[in-house]
Amino acid sequence: MDSLRRIRVLLCKTSLDGHWRGLAVVAAALRDAGMEVIYGGILRPEQAVNIAIQEDVDVIGLSIGGGYGVIEQLMQKLSEKQLKPLMVAGGTIPPPDVPLLEKMGIHKVFSPGSKLNSIVDYIKENIQSR
């Protein structure tokens, strides 16, 4: 990645679960850390992929609040377009489901209560190594 270009992050939700505060707090932390944040709200997989292409994002951050079928669809559509952004997720995700999400292609799952600096650091470290 070009060292002068700011990290570009698309943040979106996979379902209409009513929880928005965590995503807003993470968006502010990433912005405060110097990243460009594109807040997508609730997006269907094809919408998220189109925005990822249009905005040339490095990272897609998902607020997961429900079934994982949407995640599978998103990962398939990213693969079809040969896009390989860093994929991070958060939300109230049962610990036994984390390996399933990682198998789908989510690089890191942040549980409720994760420190904001750990999210920022993870993204910075893993984007620089790509």
Q: Tell me if residue 129 falls in helix, strand or coil.
A: coil
Of 98, 115, 99, nearest in space to 22 by CA: 115
Going from the C-alpha of 25 to that of each of 11, 94, 103, 112, 126, the distances in angstroms are 11, 21, 27, 12, 21
- Average of per-residue pLDDT across 65-80: 92
Sorted by sequence, the CB contacts under 8 Å of residue 98 that are 6+ apart come out as 109
11: helix, strand or coil:
strand
Is residue 128's pLDDT more than 80? no
Any idea which architecture 8-128 has in CATH?
Answer: 3-Layer(aba) Sandwich (3.40)
Mean pLDDT, residues 112-118 taken together = 94
**What is the percentage of the chain residues whose pLDDT exceeds 70?**
92
Instruction: Tell me the domain boundaries of the chain.
Output: 8-128
What are the start-end ranges of the E strands in the chain? 8-13, 36-42, 59-63, 86-90, 108-110
